[in-house]
Amino acid sequence: MVDIGLIVFGITGLLALTSLLPALAQRLKLPYSVLLALAGAALGLLVAARDAMPEGFMATDFLIALSSFHISSEAFLVIFLPTLLFETALAIDVRRMLNDVAPILLMAVVAVVVCMVVVGVTLASLTSYGLIACLMLGAMIATTDPAAVVGIFREIGAPQRLTMLVEGESLLNDAAAIALFGMLAGMMLGGQEAAWGGVAADFLVKFLGGAAIGGAMGLAVCYLFPLLKGFTTAEITLTVALAYLSFFVGEHYFHVSGVVACVAAGLVVGSLGRTRMSPRTHEQMEGAWGQLGFWANSLIFLLAAMLVPEIMQRTSWAEAGIILSVYIAALVARVIVVGGLLPLLTAIGIAEHVNNRMKVVVVWGGLRGAISLALALAVVEHPDASDSLRDFIATSVTGYVLMTLFINGTTLRLLIHWLKLDRLSVLDRGLRDRALSLAIEEIDQEVRAIGRREGLASAAIDMITTRYAMQLSHFRRLRAGRSDLMLDELLSVGLAMLSAQEEARYFKNFKDGIMPRRIAATLLNDSGRLREAARFRGRTGYAAAARQTLRHDWRMNLGIWLNHRLGIEWLLADSLAERFETLLNRRLVIGELLGFCRDRLTALLGEETAIEIRGLILERTRAIDEALTALRLQYPDFARELQSRYLGRIARQMETDRYEEWKERAIVGGEVAEALVHDRDQRWADLDKQGRIDVALSATELVERVPLFAKLEADKRASIARLLKPRMTLPGVPIVRRGQRGDAMYFIASGAAVVLIPGKPVELGSGEFFGELALLTGQPRNADVVSLGYCRLLALNSRDFLQLLAGDAELKRAIEAVAADRMQHYRGDARSEQNADRKVGR
Ligand code: CMP
């Protein structure tokens, strides 16, 4: 029985040691993982030599504590793995990952299989352990460890796409490699039959099943967040529970890959959590998970690396040869994937081009880490593993991981430097210079002002300001000269900055409680999409994405469909209200962006770029205003309600700020502050309720709005109302299409529609009708009719039409008169068009 006190002493001692290492790694310019491995190995040596140490000392006790750990692989995998995976998944920008999903999946899944096969076949031909054991080893070492590489990439400011590629790869390949390893280990040690077709199918089921279970659990948790009422500690706890539960539930109850489930859950919370959890929590959660991930990664490395000296001591020259073969085979496997398959994907158009220098770094940066070590431990401890197999796995995997850390890890930085990937591009350099000059100019003035205000000696002020002077004059010269940057590039950068600014403002409004959660989720998502579009497709991409954001979404279209076909109203009412509120919030923020463009972008990117960007902002404003006007005209009451709610939320936020300030300055005590907040909440309780638009269209009511019917007696009107079906239409959507067979005619109860006849289109307003010609003549429709705003129509199908006309001569005459006029008009137009055609000889 191990003394629990001793274990706590050992673990906390390790944590204390760990806390010193990041700073040391930075100083030595070594990747953190490399230093951890070194420290772990050194500890392992000390533990082995503990008998020679004097008794009774704290250090000796610490080593005894470490030696008494029995670290099972189970503990490695179950305790640390979910944390490591979930933390990486949380931090990933899912949208950006989706941009490069093909190469990432290729690197993740195919690269693991290629590595497994190349390493497995090589070893099987060199050793006598059999193909399955060798393939298993290949799978174990196929997992790349992102910590080292991504750390260096971030530090040197490597291209973001490269970082994304490597990070995404290492996240998903853990899942693939562990799933494959599990199956091979089952065959090897559990006596299962080897059936390759079965393995592939099984792998697929486990992978996709894991993604589905984890994704669903992640989604469920996102919907639980709002129920936790903003208790940050509770929300973070829920994410920790999710990491472990998704792993466990996937593995044990659904028999799918727990690793994939955990990753999927992390990705979902990472992408949706920002608007689902309380705004304050999100930042704190990132901190909390960063901490947990740091502990897990450090401990797993130290504990595994402590076993290294013992393993290496037993290593023979023959085994060293095997380690070298593994190293070479794994490198070859990576070259095959990165050099061969990646270009293939680019050629068939599903991946963007990755340049050769980046490819070299991706190949060389495939460091291996904690997960390979933990998997090796799982085999070493397995009761059914033979001694020779244990030695083979332990030595080769540990040796290989160390080689990647010490050879690739220590030289990666040099390689990146040598390939000049750490240099800023011309564009980035230009931007940095401008940003710097802007900052310096502002600071220079402020510093002088402070110096004068505080009455400091002018010599003292000069000593500081001369430091800037040289740089300032350099930048002034630079700015006076012609710009070395292309307008297209500047626009792309400027629009990406603008979108980031837009996103930040939405998030701030959400944080301040001015914008409701659902609206924030849509707007944040849209601005993220704008940013990516600007970055990859420049001005045209941005403009297209901006138009896209104003389209009616699938919910609205489904709402319309349900309303037409089944008379269901709630979805339409809901999505209309949501669209209204989204447009309003979007409009308010975009209005503010003009200021940002004027104040910041002009100085940073130059006049010409800023003017272009301003034009794009104005274009967006116009489009939004148009969409808003259409809604406002139809639902003026709701528009007022939205505006007042918006103002109310601002008032509530101001109140909150004031109370907080009073509390901070001790003007009011804790209890009074609490009472004030309580009072505020009560007063504003109705602010966060979801508004609804009344879309109920009663035929009886609408019939009264059509002058043709309004004159009729009440019971006649009621019988007509029974024949008419109310319909609502969205702006810009065709109601009737030219050439189609006519099955109904329409009366416009409110709104407007345009008839696209040759020549000049004709606009029809409230009370008018269309679609009667096809019913009267039996001919196809003679024009497109498009809804101009949110129209309320009354549809009359052809059978009821004939019945109605048969029973009401006056109505018949009125409709036929209009129709005859239109026919004439139409013929006249068609004839003059034919004449015109003849004249130009078409
Ligand atoms: P229909 O042909 O069934 O479908 C298209 C409709 O457009 C048509 O019926 C008329 O209701 C309407 N339409 C056609 N020409 C004119 C016109 N000159 N002025 C107004 N409406 C028209």
Give CA–CA dist 795/775, Å, rounded.
Answer: 13
CB-ligand 1 contact for 101 (6 Å cutoff): no
Mean pLDDT (the chain) is 85
* In the predicted structure, residue 483 carries a pLDDT above the cut 60: no
CB-ligand 1 contact for 757 (6 Å cutoff): yes
Q: Token pair 């502050």 is at which residue? A: 673
CB-ligand 1 contact for 798 (6 Å cutoff): no
Residue of the nearest CA to atom 17 in ligand 1? Answer: 822
704-731 as b/e, with b when 16 or more CB fall inside 10 Å? ebbebbeebeeeebeebbebbbbbbbbb
> pLDDT confidence of 589, banded at 50, 70, 90?
very high
Give CA–CA dist 168/265, Å, rounded.
Answer: 15
Number of CB atoms found within 10 A of residue 530's CB: 26
191: left (phi over 0), alpha (psi -120 to 50) or beta: left
CB-ligand 1 contact for 782 (6 Å cutoff): yes
Lowest mean pLDDT among 16-20, 231-235, 283-287, 311-315: 311-315
pLDDT on residue 264: 93
Lowest mean pLDDT among 356-365, 417-426, 532-541: 417-426
Give CA–CA dist 657/663, Å, rounded.
Answer: 10
- Give per-residue pLDDT as tens, 662-671: 988 888 887 8
Percent with pLDDT over 70 in the chain:
92
Ligand 1 centroid, distance to 665 Cα (angstroms): 71
Ligand 1 centroid, distance to 355 Cα (angstroms): 58
466 or 157, higher pLDDT: 466
CB-ligand 1 contact for 747 (6 Å cutoff): no
Long-range contacts for 532-536 (Cβ within 8 Å, ≥24 apart)? 532/95, 532/96, 532/99, 534/492, 534/495, 534/496, 534/498, 534/499, 535/492, 535/496, 536/99
Ligand 1 centroid, distance to 779 Cα (angstroms): 12
Structure tokens given for 670: 């804790």
CB-ligand 1 contact for 772 (6 Å cutoff): yes
pLDDT on residue 200: 74
- Contact at 8 Å (CB) between 569 and 695? yes
CB-ligand 1 contact for 392 (6 Å cutoff): no
CB-ligand 1 contact for 771 (6 Å cutoff): yes
pLDDT on residue 735: 92
Record the pTM.
0.72
Residue of the nearest CA to atom 16 in ligand 1? Answer: 822
536 or 24, higher pLDDT: 24
AA letter at 824: Q
Ligand 1 centroid, distance to 778 Cα (angstroms): 13
Ligand 1 centroid, distance to 783 Cα (angstroms): 6
pLDDT on residue 154: 67
Ligand 1 centroid, distance to 771 Cα (angstroms): 6
Percent with pLDDT over 90 in the chain:
29
CB-ligand 1 contact for 756 (6 Å cutoff): no
Ligand 1 centroid, distance to 819 Cα (angstroms): 8
Ligand 1 centroid, distance to 808 Cα (angstroms): 22
End-to-end CA distance of the chain: 99
- Contact at 8 Å (CB) between 81 and 179? no
> pLDDT confidence of 1, banded at 50, 70, 90?
very low
Ligand 1 centroid, distance to 709 Cα (angstroms): 20
Pairing of strands 725-729, 769-770: unpaired
CB-ligand 1 contact for 785 (6 Å cutoff): yes
Atom of ligand 1 nearest to the CA of 770: 11
Atom of ligand 1 nearest to the CA of 779: 2
CB-ligand 1 contact for 742 (6 Å cutoff): yes
Q: Token pair 């990432």 is at which residue? A: 104
Q: Which among 754, 773, 779, 815 is the best mutation to test ligand 1's pocket, defined by most ligand atoms within 8 Å of the CB?
A: 773
Ligand 1 centroid, distance to 773 Cα (angstroms): 6
Using the 8-state DSSP alphabet, how is residue 747 labeled?
E
Atom of ligand 1 nearest to the CA of 769: 11
CB-ligand 1 contact for 773 (6 Å cutoff): yes
- Give per-residue pLDDT as tens, 26-66: 898 887 888 988 999 899 899 888 877 777 788 888 888 88
Q: For every residue of 79-135, which 3-state class applies, written as one string?
A: HHHHHHHHHHHHHCCHHHHHHCHHHHHHHHHHHHHHHHHHHHHHHHHHCCCCHHHHH
* 803 three-class SS: helix
* In the predicted structure, residue 347 carries a pLDDT above the cut 90: no
Ligand 1 centroid, distance to 795 Cα (angstroms): 15
Give CA–CA dist 761/772, Å, rounded.
Answer: 17
* In the predicted structure, residue 485 carries a pLDDT above the cut 70: no
- Contact at 8 Å (CB) between 702 and 749? yes
AA letter at 722: R
CA atoms within 13 A of residue 561's CA, in its CB half-sphere: 7
pLDDT on residue 842: 45
Ligand 1 centroid, distance to 703 Cα (angstroms): 21
Alpha helix positions (H), 157-257: 160-189, 196-224, 232-252
Q: Which among 764, 822, 825, 826 is the best mutation to test ligand 1's pocket, defined by most ligand atoms within 8 Å of the CB?
A: 822
Residue of the nearest CA to atom 12 in ligand 1? Answer: 770
Give CA–CA dist 266/172, Å, rounded.
Answer: 12
Find the farthest-apart pair of alpha carbons in the chain and give their distance in angstroms, rounded: 117
Lowest mean pLDDT among 113-117, 124-128, 245-249, 472-476: 472-476
pLDDT on residue 558: 92
- Give per-residue pLDDT as tens, 808-837: 888 889 889 999 998 887 776 666 666 655
Atom of ligand 1 nearest to the CA of 781: 2
CB-ligand 1 contact for 736 (6 Å cutoff): yes
- Give per-residue pLDDT as tens, 426-438: 667 777 777 777 7
Residue among 527, 530, 525 at smallest CA distance from 492: 530
Ligand 1 centroid, distance to 645 Cα (angstroms): 43
Q: Token pair 């990937």 is at which residue? A: 421
pLDDT on residue 191: 61
Distances (CA, A) of 735 to 550, 791, 793: 20, 10, 10
Q: Which among 735, 754, 756, 770 is the best mutation to test ligand 1's pocket, defined by most ligand atoms within 8 Å of the CB?
A: 770
CB-ligand 1 contact for 770 (6 Å cutoff): yes
CB-ligand 1 contact for 526 (6 Å cutoff): no
Residue among 29, 39, 23, 18 at smallest CA distance from 294: 18
Give CA–CA dist 365/31, Å, rounded.
Answer: 12
Atom of ligand 1 nearest to the CA of 742: 3
Using the 8-state DSSP alphabet, how is residue 727 labeled?
E
- List % helix, strand, coil for the chain (3-state, nearest 5): 75, 5, 20
Strand 784-787: give its sheet, edge to edge: 734-736, 784-787, 753-756, 762-764
Using the 8-state DSSP alphabet, how is residue 407 labeled?
I
Give CA–CA dist 629/639, Å, rounded.
Answer: 10
Give CA–CA dist 82/100, Å, rounded.
Answer: 25
* In the predicted structure, residue 785 carries a pLDDT above the cut 60: yes
Lowest mean pLDDT among 79-83, 163-167, 229-233, 235-239: 163-167
Distances (CA, A) of 633 to 95, 497, 547, 582, 590: 36, 34, 22, 17, 22
Residue of the nearest CA to atom 2 in ligand 1? Answer: 781
Ligand 1 centroid, distance to 816 Cα (angstroms): 12
C-alpha torsion sign, points 91, 95, 100, 105:
positive
Structure tokens given for 603: 């100085």
Q: Which among 743, 785, 832 is the best mutation to test ligand 1's pocket, defined by most ligand atoms within 8 Å of the CB?
A: 785
- Give per-residue pLDDT as tens, 693-719: 777 777 777 888 788 887 778 888 888
> pLDDT confidence of 201, banded at 50, 70, 90?
confident
Most confident of 242-256, 268-282, 303-317, 802-816: 242-256
> pLDDT confidence of 620, banded at 50, 70, 90?
very high
CB-ligand 1 contact for 350 (6 Å cutoff): no
606-621 as b/e, with b when 16 or more CB fall inside 10 Å? beebbebbbebbeebb
Residue of the nearest CA to atom 8 in ligand 1? Answer: 771
